[in-house]
């Protein structure tokens, strides 16, 4: 089976989703957590200064705005309302067209995102994806979502490892056909290089330069 693999933030969506998801949850579940916004900004500055990793940044902000843990019954309505809002206002028109085209070609359409899988999957399902590869969170004994990443943050070289693991787990190693990959960012270079067909979507400067050197397609999805 041929595959079409998509990054999510700023590829399928116009705007990134991680911080907006946490703010969405804080506003609806515990508005008092917005008092932690100066600490959120401080953690972002620490990341920019390379004092903490991108994964640790996620865990800190998750704890500040969503809490140490949350039960599935409390999380689901937050995920559903956020996903509905993203699908209504934050999906690139070109992404919808590409997904429809890839599905019409018989491709298995897969999202591979650094965002948390538990909410990315809700967005992916609404726009027609078949599978989702994303950053996983630890689960407590009662299946509560805990503010710790389970495994790797699905970003950069780790995304390539997680895509390869998904291919193996899906029984597609040595069996899948042509792979088309879409992303907006140069950090996805490992997956671009692995794919048979690379498509840079609304690329920033570094990816645009790399796409020109490698002869990759460049598309504007609006």
Q: What does the alpha-carbon distance between residue 89 and residue 85 come to, in Å, rounded to a whole number? A: 6
Average pLDDT for residues 200-220, to the nearest whole number? 97
- Three-state DSSP state, 66: coil
Model confidence over 146-156: pLDDT tens digits?
999 999 999 99
The H-or-E segment that residue 42 falls in is: helix 37-48
Q: Indicate the pLDDT class of residue 173, thresholds 50, 70 and 90.
A: confident
Q: What does the alpha-carbon distance between residue 39 and residue 18 come to, in Å, rounded to a whole number? A: 16
Please identify which residue in the block is written with the tokens 């699905």. 154
- Three-state DSSP state, 48: helix
Model confidence over 127-145: pLDDT tens digits?
999 999 999 999 997 889 9
Model confidence over 52-108: pLDDT tens digits?
999 999 999 999 999 999 999 999 999 999 999 999 999 999 999 999 999 999 999
Q: What does the alpha-carbon distance between residue 91 and residue 17 come to, in Å, rounded to a whole number? A: 11
């Amino acid at each position: 089976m041929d595959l079409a693999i998509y990054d999510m933030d700023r590829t399928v969506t116009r705007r990134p989703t991680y911080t907006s998801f946490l703010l969405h949850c804080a506003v609806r579940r515990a508005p008092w957590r917005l008092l932690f916004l100066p600490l959120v900004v401080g953690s972002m500055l620490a990341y920019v200064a390379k004092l903490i990793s991108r994964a640790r940044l996620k865990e800190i902000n998750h704890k500040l705005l969503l809490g140490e843990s949350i039960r599935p019954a409390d999380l689901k309505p937050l995920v559903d309302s956020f996903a509905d809002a993203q699908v209504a206002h934050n999906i690139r028109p070109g992404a919808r067209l590409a997904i429809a085209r890839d599905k019409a070609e018989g491709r298995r359409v897969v999202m591979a995102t650094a965002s948390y899988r538990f909410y990315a999957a809700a967005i992916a399902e609404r726009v027609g994806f078949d599978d989702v590869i994303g950053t996983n969170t630890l689960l407590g004994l009662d299946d509560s979502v805990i503010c710790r990443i389970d495994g790797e943050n699905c970003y950069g070289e780790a995304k390539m490892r997680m895509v390869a693991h998904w291919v193996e787990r899906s029984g597609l190693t040595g069996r899948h056909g042509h792979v088309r990959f879409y992303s907006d960012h140069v950090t996805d270079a490992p997956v671009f290089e692995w794919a048979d067909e690379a498509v840079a979507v609304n690329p920033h400067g570094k990816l645009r330069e790399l796409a020109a050197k490698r002869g990759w397609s460049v598309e504007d999805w609006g």
